[in-house]
């Protein structure tokens, strides 16, 4: 994401990652799921290997940790 990171988007994705805690309280996994859904429009299937932007994922993970 070459341009400046959108703080509102990062916060929204961090908050939306919390909805996946019901299936496993793993912040890394849940942030990845939220970013994957945002980038690709769907949650990953069992064999989905599409990548997500690392910079966005790491920003969402950091924001998620700040929520706690």
Q: What share of the chain is helix, strand, coil (3-state, %, to 5)?
A: 65, 0, 35
Q: Domain for residue 64, yes or no?
A: yes
The per-residue pLDDT for 4 is 58
Q: Domain for residue 3, yes or no?
A: no
The per-residue pLDDT for 3 is 47
The per-residue pLDDT for 54 is 96
Residue whose C-alpha is closest to residue 64's, from 23, 25, 38, 37: 25
Q: How many independent structural domains does the chain possess?
A: 1
Mind spelling out the 3-state secondary structure of 28-43?
A: HHHHHHHHHHHHHCCC
Q: Domain for residue 1, yes or no?
A: no
Q: Domain for residue 9, yes or no?
A: no
The per-residue pLDDT for 46 is 86
pLDDT tens string, the chain, 68 residues long: the values are: 444 579 999 999 999 999 999 999 899 999 999 999 999 999 999 888 889 999 999 999 999 999 97
């Amino acid at each position: 994401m070459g341009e400046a990171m959108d703080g509102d988007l990062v916060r929204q994705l961090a908050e939306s990652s919390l909805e996946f805690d019901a299936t496993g309280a793993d912040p890394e996994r849940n942030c990845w799921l939220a970013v994957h859904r945002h980038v690709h429009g769907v949650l990953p299937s069992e064999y989905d290997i599409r990548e997500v932007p690392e910079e966005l994922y790491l920003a969402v993970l950091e924001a998620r940790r700040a929520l706690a």
